């Protein structure tokens, strides 16, 4: 679960809105911190970046990583534990699991990117319009968002699958649509905050047109949290997509989507644990990395 709409700030009945003199200028007491390097350069972030890069590479050129074919069966070597020739072992048809995982990368990644693109593109735009234009647009958009939020994302995706049949892209679109709501909310909240800042009003006073104020001042300052959320959403989308393919609604077999690989391995849990464990570990590693990067991006914005 990513950003949440927390308690709205209390409507202060204060007499004064001027900041007290000593708090606005350089603080009497600096809030001390230990000296730290740039968040993106810390060891865990670098590791996360590396993992993500490997994954992207594997998606674009699987042949680089896996030489065996993901589809060829080899019954003589079925259900072998992970070892030298088969890093992730072999499955019940003798196929190389590592190669299947690698080739599944592009399927999962494509779906994830589609989902995030839809969620960010549609959601952030809706949030921006709602927050900047207010009034009727705001009300309509936010009611729509409320409705979207009421249906759990998994169920929404399942409803789409029920109507249209299974398939990676359909699943991706469904996951994306269900995340639109969160993006819209975050972006709207940020736009509202920025919009009421003095410097945005000052832009009007110095003579900028409304569109220029929006583009030059509101957007750049409001974009931060939405971008951070987008990186976080990558992890969430991967989990959603693989969950759906685990249930059997992703790409049809024998295409090696990660989730369906885990589902296949489930039948052999007692005897050949690596069939499920390997794809699972890859999923966890990628999601952890995406989250790590997202947190680092978030911290950079705040410096």
Partner 1 sequence: MTLLRIRGLSVGYRTRHGIVDGARDVDLDVSEGEIVALVGESGSGKTTTAHSILQMLPPAAIVRSGSVRLEGRDLLTLSERQLRAVRGARVAHVPQDPGTSLDPLRRIGPQVAEVLRIHGLASRREAAGEAVELLRAAGLDRPETRARQYPHQLSGGMRQRVLVAIALAALPRLVVADEPTSALDVTVQKKVLDHLSGLVREHGTSVLLITHDLAVAAERADRVVVMREGRVVESGPGSQVLDRPQHAYTRQLIADDPSLTVAHRGRRPSDGGTAPRPLLEVSGLRKEFRAGARGAAPVVAVDDVSLTVARGRTLAIVGESGSGKSTTARLVLRLERPDAGTVVLDGTDVTALRGRELRAVRQRLQYVYQNPFASLDPRQSVGDIVSEPLRAFGLLDSAAQRRARANELVDRVALPGSVLARRPAELSGGQRQRVAIARALALGPELVVCDEPVSALDVTVQAQILRLLVTLQEESGLSYLFISHDLAVVRSIADDVLVMQAGRVVERGTVDAIFESPQHDYTRELLSSIPLHGRVR
Partner 2 sequence: MSRRSGAGGPGVGRYLAGRIGQTVLVLWGAHAVSFVLLYLLPSDAVTIKLMGSTGLEAGSFDPQTLATAREELGVDSSIWSQYVANLGRLLHGDLGISYQRGTTVSSLLGEALPHTLLLAGSTIVLAVVLGIGLGAVIGYVRRPGLREALLAVPPLAVSVPAFAIGLVLIQVFAFRLRVLPSSGTDGLSSLVLPTVALAVPLAAPIAQVFAKGLLSSLDQPYIDTVFAKGASRTQVLRHAVLNSISPTLALVGVLVGGLIGGAVITETVFTREGIGTLTVSAVQSQDLPVVQAIVLISAAAYALATLLVDVLHPVIDKRVTHARATA
φ and ψ of 84, to 5 deg: -55, -50
Minimum distance of partner 1 from residue 214's CB (angstroms): 13
Subset of 198-237 contacting partner 2 (CB under 8 A): 235
Neighbour tally for 61: CB within 10 Å:
11
Distance of alpha carbon 279 from alpha carbon 266, whole angstroms: 11
Residue 97 as a binder of partner 2 (CB under 8 A): the answer is no
Q: Name the one range near partner 1 by CB under 8 A: 38-46, 147-155, 201-209, 263-271.
A: 201-209
Residue 13 as a binder of partner 2 (CB under 8 A): the answer is yes
35 binds, among partner 1, partner 2, none (CB under 5 to 8 A by kind): partner 1
φ and ψ of 133, to 5 deg: -85, -25
Minimum distance of partner 2 from residue 152's CB (angstroms): 4
205 binds, among partner 2, partner 1, none (CB under 5 to 8 A by kind): partner 1
17 binds, among partner 1, partner 2, none (CB under 5 to 8 A by kind): partner 1
Site string for partner 1, 210-249 (x = CB under 8 A): --x----x--xx----------------------------
Provide CB contacts within 8 A for 114, sequence distance 6+: 169, 172, 173, 176
User: Are 141 and 129 a contacting pair, CB within 8 Å?
Assistant: yes
User: Are 262 and 242 a contacting pair, CB within 8 Å?
Assistant: yes
Nearer to partner 1, 81 or 212 (CB): 212
Nearer to partner 1, 1 or 14 (CB): 14
Please identify which residue in 28, 76, 135, 150 interacts with partner 1, judged by CB under 8 A. 28
Neighbour tally for 290: CB within 10 Å:
23
Nearer to partner 1, 8 or 198 (CB): 198
Instruction: Tokens for 61, please give them.
Output: 């050129």
Residue 302 as a binder of partner 1 (CB under 8 A): the answer is no
The DSSP letter of residue 63 is G
Nearer to partner 2, 81 or 269 (CB): 269
Distance of alpha carbon 123 from alpha carbon 117, whole angstroms: 9
| Coil vs helix vs strand at 90 | strand
Neighbour tally for 31: CB within 10 Å:
5
Q: Name the one range near partner 2 by CB under 8 A: 63-71, 93-101, 198-206, 276-284.
A: 276-284
CA angle 186, 191, 192 (to 5 degrees): 100
Residue 5 as a binder of partner 2 (CB under 8 A): the answer is yes
Which residues would be at the binding site for partner 1 (CB under 8 A)?
Answer: 10-36, 197-199, 201-209, 212, 217, 220-221
């Amino acid at each position: 679960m990513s950003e949440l709409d927390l308690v709205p700030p209390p409507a202060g009945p204060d007499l004064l809105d001027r900041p007290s003199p000593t708090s606005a200028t350089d603080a009497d007491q600096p809030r001390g911190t230990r000296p730290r390097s740039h968040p993106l350069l810390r060891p865990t972030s670098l590791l996360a970046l590396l993992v993500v890069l490997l994954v992207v590479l594997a998606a674009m050129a699987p042949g680089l990583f896996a030489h065996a074919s993901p589809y060829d069966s080899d019954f003589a070597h079925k259900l072998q534990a992970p070892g030298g020739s088969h890093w992730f072992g072999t499955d019940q048809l003798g196929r190389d699991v590592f190669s299947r995982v690698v080739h599944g990368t592009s399927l999962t990644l494509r779906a994830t990117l589609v989902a995030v693109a839809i969620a960010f593109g549609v959601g952030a735009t809706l949030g921006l319009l709602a927050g900047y234009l207010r009034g009727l647009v705001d009300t309509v958009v936010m009611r729509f968002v409320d409705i979207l939020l009421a249906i759990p994302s998994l169920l929404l995706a399942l409803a789409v699958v029920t109507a249209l049949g299974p398939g990676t892209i359909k699943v991706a679109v469904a996951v994306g649509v269900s995340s639109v709501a969160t993006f819209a909310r975050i972006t709207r909240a940020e736009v509202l905050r920025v919009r009421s800042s003095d410097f945005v009003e000052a832009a009007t006073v110095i003579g900028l047109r409304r569109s220029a104020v929006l583009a030059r001042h509101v957007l750049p300052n409001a974009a931060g949290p939405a971008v951070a959320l987008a990186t976080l959403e990558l992890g969430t989308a991967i989990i959603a997509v693989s969950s759906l393919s685990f249930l059997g609604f992703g790409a049809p077999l024998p295409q090696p989507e990660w989730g369906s690989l885990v589902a296949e391995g489930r039948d052999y849990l007692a005897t050949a644990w690596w069939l499920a464990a390997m794809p699972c570990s890859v999923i966890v590693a990628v999601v952890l990395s995406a989250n790590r990067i997202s947190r680092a991006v978030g911290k950079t914005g705040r410096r």
